[in-house]
Chain A
Amino acid sequence: MPGAFWSGTITFGLVNVPVALFPANRAGGVSLRMLAPDGTPLERQYYDPETGKRVLYDEVVRGYEIQKGEFVVLDDDELEALEPEKTREIDLRRFVPVADIDPMHFERAYFLVPDSGSNKAYRLLAEAMEKTGMAGIATFVMRTREYLVAILAEEGILRAETLRFADELRAPEAAGLDALPSAKATDVKRFEKAIRARAKADIDEKELRDDYAERLLKLVRRKQKKGEDVVDAPAGDGERDTDVIDLMAVLKRSMAQAGETTGGGGSLKSLTKEELYERAQAMDIPGRSSMTKAQLIRAIERVA
C-alpha cells in the first residue's frame, strides 16, 4: 500500500490478517527550514572530512565502530538476512489487559489498516480485542530494528503501539529511589485533599497544546499578511515533499479502500452518488465529475 511504513500479516492462531502500517503521529512542533543568507533553502550533503569531497547517498555504507576509527561494514543484505524467519508476521501469541501495560513502555503509535482482500478477519480481531479490553503482545522487525508491540483496538481500528524492551528502561534504584522513608499520614492526608481540589473527570486538550508552535505560527501569519520577509521557495524543491503529504488523507483513503474490497460491488451499489464521488475524489480517479453512478462504481472497482 502506498505510503505504508510496513506491510505484513498479523497472525492470530491460524487466522491471518493482512495489514499495512501507518504512523499515527504527525511530526511534532513546527519545523523551520535552514536557508542561505539570500533566503534559498539549503541542501544537506554528506562529505568525507578527510578529502573534503561530497559523498552521494548511494556511496555510503553502514559501519559499526569496534574500536576508535575501526569499522565493521554491514550491508543491507546482511542485515536483512538477520531478520527472523517469519519476517512479515506479527504473531499474537499472548494477550494482556491493555490497562496492565506500564505506560513507561509506550513509545510510538501506528495504525494498522486492512490490506488486500476481505477485511472480515481484521474486523473480527478488532471487535474481540476491543470488547475484552485486551492487547496482543508480539515482536517484529521493521527497517533493521526489532520492535516489541502491543496491538490494540479502538473504534474498530487496530493500532500498534511500539513498546520499550525491559532492558531499555532503568530501574528506579538507578535513580536512588529505593531508599525513601515512608510518608507521614498527616502529610498524605493534606496532599490527598489538594489532589481532590484539582481533580477533574477528564483531561482538557487545550492543556496539551504546543504553545511555542502556536506563537511561532502567529508570527509567521503576521509577517505573511504584511508581506514582510516573504520569499518564493524555488520550484521543484523536493526536500519537504514527504512532510507535505497529509497523514490523515492517506489514512482515510486506505481505510475507505479497505472497506470497498470487502463487500465487492454490492457495497458500492448501496452508496449514494455523492458518496461514490467523494471516494473517487479520494482515489484521484480522472474524469470523475462527468461520470454516472454506474461509471463511478466501475472506476472505483478498477482502481481498488
Chain B
Amino acid sequence: MARAIWKGVIRFEDEEVPVKLYAAVEDRSVHFRLLNERTKHPVKQRMVHPETGAEVPYDEVRRGYQTEDGRIVLLDEEELAALEPEAARDIHITRFVPPEKLNHQWYDRPYYLGPDGAEGAYTALARALERQGREGVARWTMRKKEYRGALRAEDGHLLLITLRSADEVVAAAELPRPEGRKLDARELKMAHQLISALEDAWEPAAWQDEYRERVMELVEAKAAGKTVTFRKPKARREEKSLEEALKKSVAAARKGKAA
C-alpha cells in the first residue's frame, strides 16, 4: 500500500473527518539527464554573478521581486518567513457546489483521501457527497503552502483535486469570439451528424503513450549497439470543399460504425 504523504482533518459545520492524503498521479514520463556533449558527464546547475562569473552559494542568495518598471524590490528572509501561512491540519470546506461549476481549467493535481481512523465518518461523507451530487471547495495549508481544492466522492472513496488560483486561468469568455459569415445550416447539421457518428464512451485505458514506448525502444536498441532506421512521415491528404469533406466524412463514419 502506498505511503500517505500528509494527514489532515476535513471540517465543515460541526463535522470532522480525519484523512490521509495519497498521491494519485504516478510519473511515467521518460526522464533525460543533460550531459556535457564532450565528456558525457551529467551537468549540474549553479547560480553565478553575471559580472564576475563567480558562483554564489545558495545560502548567500537573496530574493527580490521585479516590478513592471524594471526595478527590483529586495525581500529578506524574515520578511518572507512572516508571509508564510501557519502550519495547520484543517481542510476547510467553504461550500458545496454542483460539479459543473468547476471549470476544467482549474483542476491541477488529484490526491486520494483515505480514512485516518474514524472510518464511519469517512464512508458516510463519501456516500453523502455522492447522494447530493456535489463537490466541496476546500482550502488547506500543507507543508507551508496554501492550497485550494475540490473534494469529490467516487465509488465510495474521497478525492481531493488541487485547483489553480483564479488569476492563473485565462477564461474563454475573456477572449474575442472568432467571427465571420453566418454558418451554413446544412454544414452545421452534417457536423452534428459526424460528431454523433463518432460518439463513444469515455475509456481512458484505450489510449496509450506510444511515443514514450518508442523512445524506450530506441534507448534499448542503442544500448544494445544496434542501428536504428526510421520511417519517413507520410504526406497529408488534399483538402476538399468543406461541404464535400463533411458529406464524405459522415458517410465514412456511419459505415465504420455499422461494420
Contact = CB atoms under 8 A, between A and B. Distances in A.
A101 B191 contact: no
Contact of B176 (A27, A60, A201, A255): A255
A212 B85 contact: yes
A248 B174 contact: yes
Interface residues of B, number: 165
A48 B161 contact: no
A92 B191 CA distance: 12
B109 to A, nearest CB: 9
A109 B128 CA distance: 31
B47 A34 contact: yes
A146 B43 contact: no
B140 interface: no
Given A25-B105, A111-B170, A256 B44 contact: no
Contact of B75 (A82, A96, A184, A220): A220
Interface string A38-58: 011111111111110001000
B134 A199 contact: yes
A50 B62 contact: no
Contacts of B39: 48, 50-51
Interface string B68-85: 001111111001100111
Contacts of A163: 204
B249 A15 contact: yes
Contact of B207 (A141, A148, A152, A204): A148
Contact of A247 (B60, B114, B170): B170
A230 interface: yes
B38 interface: yes
B248 to A, nearest CB: 5
A13 B61 CA distance: 56
B143 interface: no
Contacts of B175: 111, 155, 157, 251-252, 255
A252 B177 CA distance: 9
Contact of B249 (A12, A120, A128): A12
Q: When A and B form their complex, which 5 residue pairs have the shortest distance between CB atoms, in order from nearest?
A: A13-B249, A187-B124, A146-B211, A191-B128, A81-B230
A192 interface: yes
Nearest to A28: B168
Interface string B20-36: 00111111111111111
Given A55-B43, A192-B128, 5 more contacts: A26-B169, A41-B64, A103-B150, A104-B110, A212-B145
Interface string B85-105: 100000001111111111011
